[in-house]
C-alpha cells in the first residue's frame, strides 16, 4: 500500500489496518481461523495471491505471527498482542455498521459461503454424537450470483468440520430448507404488548430503552402510530437489540437473541406513571442485567392497587446465572397478582416436579391466578379454590410470533376495562372470560405474519366488557 506521507498516528495506523481486506482478515482470525484456506473461506472473493500478500504485510507490521504447521505443509497464523488491541476497534466498527450502514441487508451483500462458514463456527462439537453428521442446506431464494451455492453440505465430526459445495457422497442426516431473504420486523415483548393494548383501546405507556439508530427510529414511529405513550422511553446510542425468529414447518417460532452491548439491556429504573392501573413484566426483562435489576425495582415499587401480570416467558439461552435468575424471579413473584407461564417455563424453573404441581405452588401471597398456556391446547386457569381448562380460539396459523404477547395484552386490557377489583382474580369464574378474550387476540395474531396485533374492530363486536378507552388510566409495559 502506498503510504499517506504523514507522521500522524492515524495515518500510520491506517497504512496497516485500513488496507482493503485487512480488517476482514483480522475478523476471521478473531473468529478462530488459523490456516490459510480457513481464512479464505471466510472471504471467498479474495484471491489466494492477494491473501498471501496481505498476510506477509501484516506479519511484517507485527500484527500477525506465523509458524509451520506441526503436520503437513502450510503455516498457522495467529494475531499478536498488537492485533488484539484492534479487536475492540473491529467490534465498534461492526456496531457502527449495524447502526448506519443502510445497505447491510441488501441482497447484493448476501454471502452464502460466509453464512455457511459462520454456521460451522457455532457448532457445539463436544455435544455431537460419536459419528459423522451430514447436514444439507437447500436455499430456496438467492441472488443470481449465489446460484452455485444453492445446495451446500455441512460435514460435522467431533474432531472438526467442513463445508462442501459439491455432494460429498455421504448419507444426509438432516435437510435444512432455508430462505435467504431477511425481514427486519419490529418486535420484542414489551413493544408488542404495548402496541396490542393500544390497538385494543387501552391507554398504555412503554418503559423501555430504544436505540437512536434506524431500527430504533422505526420502533418509535410504530409506537407513535398506535398512540402508545413514549414519555418514559429511554433513548440510547447503543444499537438495537436483535432477535432472530426461526419458524418450523407449522409456524412455531424459536428465537436467538443478540443482546450484549445493545439498547434493551441498558434500561434504567424509572417511576411508573402515576395513573398506572396495570404493569406487565417478565421474559428477557428479568434475565439480562442491568435491565433485570431495573425491571425488578419497578415491579416491586408498584402501588398496592396496581395489577401486576408477570409473564415468565423464560429465555434459557439468555440466562447466564440460573440460580441468580431464579432468585430474582422469586422476589418478583411476591408482587405478582397474575402469573402467565407456559409448560416449558414451568419445567425450566423447576425441572424436578410436574408442571401442574409447579403452577399450583405459584399461588401464594399476592398471586391469585396462574394461567398456564400450552400452544394450541387449552389454557389452564388456576386459583387457590379451583382449576379450569379454557379452550383456545381456533385459527389458521401463519406463525406464532407475538402470540403470547397478544394473549397478555388481551387479558390485561379486558380485565382493566371490566372494572373488577383485584380480589376477583381469586375466582375462576371471573378470570375465564378474560382468558377467553385473550385467546381471541392471540388467534388474530397467529393468523398474520409477524407480531401484528389486531385492532379492536378486527375482533368480534362482543369482545371485552366495555371495549372503550379509559382516559387517564394507563397500563405500563416494562
Residue 146 in grid coordinates: 449465489
Q: 160 and 305 share a domain?
A: no
In terms of DSSP bridges, do strands 338-342 and 369-374 run parallel, antiparallel, or are they unpaired? Answer: parallel
The Cα 413–Cα 152 span in angstroms is 48
- What's the pLDDT at 97? 85
- Tell me the C-alpha distance between 333 and 132, whole Å: 46
Co-location of 85 and 111 in the same domain:
no
Do residues 379 and 435 lie in contact, with contact meaning Cβ atoms separated by under 8 Å?
Answer: yes
**Residue 148: predicted pLDDT:** 61
Q: Helices 322-333 and 291-300: crossing angle, nearest 10°? A: 20
* 309 lies in the same domain as 443: yes
CA 41 to chain centre: 28
SS (H, E, C) 455-478: CHHHCCCCCCCCCCCCCCCEEEEC
| Predicted local distance difference test score (pLDDT) of residue 179 | 60
The number of residues in the chain equals: 478
Residue 112 shares a structural domain with residue 165: yes
Convert the pLDDT of each residue in 139-194 to its tens digit: 766 666 665 667 888 888 887 788 887 888 777 777 776 665 555 677 889 999 99
Cell of residue 397, nine digits: 396459523
How many structural domains are present in the chain? 3
Residue 56 and residue 118 in one domain: no
Q: What tens digit of pLDDT does each residue of 254-294 get?
A: 666 778 888 999 999 999 888 899 999 999 899 999 999 99
Q: pLDDT for 85-134, tens place per residue?
A: 999 999 999 888 877 876 665 666 667 777 787 787 778 788 777 778 88
Q: Is 391 found in the same domain as 246? A: yes
- 305 with 369, same domain? yes
pLDDT for residue 129 = 74
Rg (CA), the chain: 26
> What pLDDT is attached to residue 467?
44
Q: In this structure, are residues 360 and 382 in contact, taking their beta carbons and an 8 Å threshold? A: yes
For range 212-223, the mean pLDDT: 91
3 state DSSP class of 152:
strand
The CATH code of the domain that includes 141 is: 3.30.1050.10
81 and 156 part of one domain: no
Note down the domain range covering 149. Answer: 105-182
Please indicate, yes or no, whether residues 76 and 167 belong to a single structural domain of this protein: no
Domain of 398, CATH number, reads: 3.40.1190.20
pLDDT tens, residue by residue, 303-353 = 999 999 999 999 888 888 999 999 999 999 999 999 999 999 999 999 999
Q: Are residues 385 and 455 in the same domain?
A: yes
Pair 207, 265 in one domain:
yes
Mean pLDDT of all residues belonging to the chain: 87
Backbone φ and ψ of 247, nearest 5°: -100, 140
CA dist 474 and 278 (Å) reads 7
What integer pLDDT is reported at residue 90 of this predicted model? Answer: 92
Res 469: pLDDT:
39
CATH of the domain at 27: 1.10.10.10
Per-residue pLDDT for 55 more than 60? yes
Could you tell me which residues are beta bridge partners of residue 67? Answer: 76
Q: End of a domain among 182, 211, 228?
A: 182
Q: What is the mean pLDDT of residues 236-251?
A: 72
Nearest to 230 by CA among 241, 217, 240, 243: 217
Mean pLDDT confidence for 199-220:
93
214 and 147: one domain? no
Domain termination site, one of 101, 129, 156: 101
Mean pLDDT check: name the lowest of 41-45, 221-225, 304-308, 431-435.
41-45
How much is the pLDDT for 103?
60
pLDDT at res. 121: 76
Which segments of 226-290 does DSSP mark as H helices, in order? none
pLDDT at 54: 93
Structure-block grid coordinates of residue 152: 451446500
Banded model confidence at residue 81, pLDDT cuts 50, 70, 90: very high
Residue 213 has which C-alpha cell? Answer: 439508530
Whether 384 contacts 435, CB under 8 Å: no
In tens, the pLDDT along 416-429 reads 999 999 999 999 99
> Which residue, of 131, 147, 182, is where some domain finishes?
182
**What single string gives the DSSP state of each residue in 352-369?**
TS-HHHHHHHT--TT--E
Count CA atoms closer than 13 A to 59's CA, side-chain side.
Answer: 13
Minimal CA–CA distance to 39: which of 111, 117, 115, 110? 117
% of the chain with per-residue pLDDT over 70 = 88
Of 215, 216, 192, nearest to 204 (Cα)?
A: 192
All three cell numbers of 20? 482493503
pTM score: 0.64
Amino acid at each position: 500500500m502506498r503510504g499517506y506521507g504523514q507522521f500522524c498516528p492515524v495515518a500510520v495506523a491506517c497504512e496497516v489496518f485500513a488496507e482493503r481486506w485487512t480488517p476482514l482478515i483480522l475478523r476471521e482470525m478473531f473468529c478462530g481461523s488459523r490456516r490459510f484456506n480457513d481464512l479464505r473461506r471466510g472471504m471467498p472473493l479474495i484471491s489466494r495471491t492477494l491473501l498471501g500478500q496481505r498476510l506477509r504485510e501484516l506479519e511484517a507490521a507485527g500484527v500477525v505471527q506465523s509458524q509451520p504447521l506441526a503436520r503437513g505443509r502450510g503455516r498457522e497464523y495467529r494475531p499478536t498482542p498488537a492485533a488484539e488491541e484492534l479487536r475492540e476497534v473491529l467490534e465498534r466498527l461492526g456496531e457502527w455498521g449495524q447502526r448506519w450502514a443502510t445497505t447491510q441487508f441488501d441482497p447484493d451483500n448476501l454471502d452464502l459461503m460466509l453464512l455457511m462458514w459462520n454456521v460451522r463456527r457455532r457448532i457445539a462439537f463436544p455435544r455431537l454424537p460419536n459419528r459423522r453428521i451430514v447436514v444439507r442446506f437447500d436455499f430456496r431464494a438467492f441472488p443470481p450470483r449465489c446460484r452455485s451455492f444453492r445446495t451446500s453440505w455441512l460435514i460435522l465430526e467431533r474432531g472438526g468440520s467442513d463445508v462442501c459445495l459439491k455432494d460429498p457422497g455421504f448419507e444426509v442426516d438432516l435437510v435444512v430448507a432455508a430462505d435467504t431473504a431477511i425481514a427486519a420486523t419490529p418486535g420484542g415483548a414489551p413493544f408488542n404488548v404495548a402496541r396490542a393494548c393500544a390497538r385494543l383501546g387501552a391507554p398504555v405507556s412503554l418503559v423501555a430503552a430504544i436505540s437512536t439508530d434506524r431500527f430504533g427510529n422505526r420502533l418509535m414511529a410504530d409506537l407513535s402510530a398506535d398512540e402508545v405513550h413514549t414519555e418514559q422511553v429511554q433513548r440510547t446510542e447503543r444499537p438495537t437489540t436483535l432477535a432472530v425468529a426461526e419458524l418450523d414447518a407449522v409456524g412455531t417460532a424459536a428465537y436467538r437473541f443478540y443482546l450484549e452491548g445493545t439498547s434493551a439491556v441498558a434500561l434504567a429504573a424509572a417511576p411508573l406513571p402515576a395513573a398506572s392501573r396495570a404493569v406487565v413484566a417478565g421474559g428477557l426483562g428479568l434475565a439480562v442485567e442491568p435491565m433485570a435489576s431495573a425491571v425488578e425495582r419497578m415491579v416491586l415499587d408498584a402501588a398496592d392497587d396496581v395489577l401486576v401480570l408477570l409473564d415468565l416467558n423464560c429465555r434459557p439461552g439468555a440466562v447466564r446465572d440460573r440460580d441468580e435468575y431464579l432468585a430474582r424471579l422469586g422476589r418478583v413473584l411476591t408482587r405478582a397478582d397474575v402469573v402467565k407461564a407456559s409448560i416449558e417455563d414451568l419445567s425450566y424453573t423447576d425441572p424436578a416436579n410436574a408442571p401442574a404441581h409447579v403452577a399450583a405452588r405459584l399461588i401464594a401471597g399476592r398471586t391469585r391466578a396462574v394461567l398456564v398456556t400450552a400452544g394450541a391446547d387449552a389454557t389452564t386457569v388456576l386459583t387457590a379454590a379451583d382449576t379450569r381448562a379454557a379452550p383456545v380460539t381456533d385459527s389458521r396459523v401463519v406463525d406464532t410470533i407475538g402470540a403470547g404477547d397478544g394473549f397478555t395484552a388481551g387479558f390485561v386490557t379486558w380485565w382493566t376495562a371490566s372494572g373488577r377489583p383485584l380480589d376477583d382474580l381469586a375466582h375462576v369464574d371471573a378470570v375465564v372470560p378474560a382468558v377467553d378474550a385473550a385467546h381471541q387476540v392471540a388467534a388474530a395474531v397467529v393468523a398474520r405474519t409477524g407480531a401484528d396485533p389486531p385492532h379492536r374492530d378486527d375482533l368480534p363486536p362482543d369482545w371485552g366488557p366495555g371495549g372503550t378507552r379509559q382516559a387517564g388510566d394507563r397500563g405500563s409495559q416494562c
